[in-house]
Amino acid sequence: MRNQVELSFFVGYPERIALFEERVIKLASKLCGGCTVVDATGYWTEDGALHRFEFSGPAESEHCFYLKLTCEVEKEERVMQHMQAGISAFAKYYCVETDWVHVQRVEFTGMHFSINKRPTTPAPWSATSCHPARFAHS
């Protein structure tokens, strides 16, 4: 078990620019060994940045590049510095129409297990081979 942090980056902009997103994905993977990207649509109000109790502006939708990565807590500062610099540089290079990047941070205890190294134990639902349903939608 390891003390880790999940950093989620939300970059909203009008239309997807694949090269921008690919460069950010490569950077995150280089820093953390991989990442997760979620296809998303963001909704924002004109007055959304004003920190009001409620917002009155109409909700506008936009493409949202949503990338999640995890790293050890000890690596967080370095990872965050590189991600901020990389996202900023790639956004400028690819003319991404955006300014603010929303970042969420969550600390957690990370664990992994191997399916292949896990001993099989008898269970009512276990099988000795792949279930035929696996191939039903191919």
Q: Is the pLDDT of residue 138 over 60?
A: no
Domain-embedded: residue 121:
no
pTM as predicted:
0.83
Give the residue numbers spanning the domain of 28.
2-112
The number of domains in the chain is 1
Q: Does any domain span residue 62?
A: yes
Does 26 map to a domain?
yes
pLDDT tens-digit series, residues 18-28: 999 999 999 99
Condensed to tens digits (0 to 9), the pLDDT of residues 38-63 reads: 999 999 898 888 888 999 888 999 99
| 126, part of any domain | no
DSSP reduced 3-state for 56:
coil
Q: What is the pLDDT of residues 93-132, one digit of tens each?
A: 999 999 999 999 999 999 888 988 887 776 665 555 666 6
Whether 16 shows a pLDDT value over 80: the answer reads: yes
Helix, coil or strand: residue 66: strand
Q: What is the CATH number of the domain that holds 46?
A: 3.30.70.120
Question: Long-range pairs for 47-54 at CB < 8 Å and ≥24 separation?
Answer: 49/100
